[in-house]
Amino acid sequence: MSLTRRALLGAAPAAAALVACGRHDDAANAAPAVAPVRPLKDTAPFRIGTCLMTAELDDPQFTGLVQRNFSQVTPEWEMKMERILAADGSLALDAADRIAGFCRDSRLAMHGTTLVWYAQDPPTFEALKHDRAGFEDHLRDYIRQVVGRYRGLARGWDVVNEAVAEDGNGYRGGVWAEGLGDDFARVPFEMAREADPDAVLFLNDYNLESMPAKLDAFQRLAERLLKAGAPLTGLGTQSHLGFDTPPGQAGAAVKALARFGLPIHVSELDITTHKPGLSLGSPSDPARLQAQARVAAEIAAAFADLPAAQRYAFTIWGVRDKDSWLRGSAQGAPDDAPLLFDAAGAPKPALAAVEAAFARR
């Protein structure tokens, strides 16, 4: 199942507000949470990640599940430029700082996202897009302040996000291409390396599993950056999948990208159980959850089969089904069940499937 991300822009602030006010009606009627027998993070010799928003940190069940089952956190939206960079050029780092503080207090690693994304075109950069030197200075200052602030905590950064056109024909540079030209993908990597010499620096994209032409274009961009000497040191596949993903497709990007020898990040895994136009059953039907578990097992096995040095992290994009961005998007549904824990925080078949896939490796 392919997802269209552009339609979701601007939804994150509203989603955060919905989390804070108890957006999910199913929570009130859900059964008490049942913890898995073994924490998920203890089933693998690599980092197991999730994402979160600051509003969720006020929920003790949520934080308990994170601390028990995960070893790394990606700020879901509150470390992206549209949240941090104000129209006057000042930085609003309060939310990012709170997430960083939670990670430190909980002894969790952090993965930083996102420095350059075609879909975000802040006014301060728009104003400089015809002034190459000024544009570069502004970007360098932003990256220096943000990456430098979390140096030592953030193991890695999504430096350039979703740069490949959906059909694989060219690239989506947005204001970054207007300001930096053909260097829009290379320059941010160099600036990020200046800000943190030790972080793993990622090129990250989505639908690489389901669109071979896009996967090919993504690899060509990686090759181009490496040939140009860019400090590209990691490759991320978001892995927004569907329960009906054909066998062999879920792990395709992981297997293809392994040839570079770089660390790989399954960076935003979820597996929607909603299918537009499918009237039979509901997203929580046992048959769909079992199909979801098959897809989860496949990508988990593909990741676990990588050489140890290439297994950067396996990140689930949310904790409980009710926390998922898909529940508020056109691609999902209010009762979508795309994650490893249900709305009550109880483990699902997909969790067992992931743990079993890791155990066999």
Q: Which residues are known to be catalytic?
A: 162, 268
CA–CA distance, 35 with 67 (Å, rounded to integer): 12
**Do 126 and 178 contact (CB within 8 A), yes or no?**
no
Token pair of 65, please?
């599940």
b vs e for 246-277, b when ≥16 Cβ sit within 10 Å of the residue's Cβ? eeebbbbbbebbbebebbbbbbbbbbbbbbee
In the chain, alpha helices (H):
11-20, 26-29, 60-69, 81-84, 94-106, 123-126, 132-149, 174-180, 186-195, 212-227, 252-257, 286-304, 349-359
* CA separation for the pair 210, 64 (Å, rounded): 34
Question: Which class for 285: exposed (0-12), middle (13-18), buried (19 or more C-beta within 10 A)?
Answer: middle
Q: H-type helices in 107-196, by residue range?
A: 123-126, 132-149, 174-180, 186-195
C-alpha closest to that of 261 among 216, 207, 308, 221: 308
Which amino acid would we find at residue 275?
K
How far is the C-alpha of 142 from the C-alpha of 136, rounded, in Å?
A: 10
How far does CA 98 lie from the centroid of its chain?
A: 19
CA-nearest of 211, 137, 201 to 167 is 211
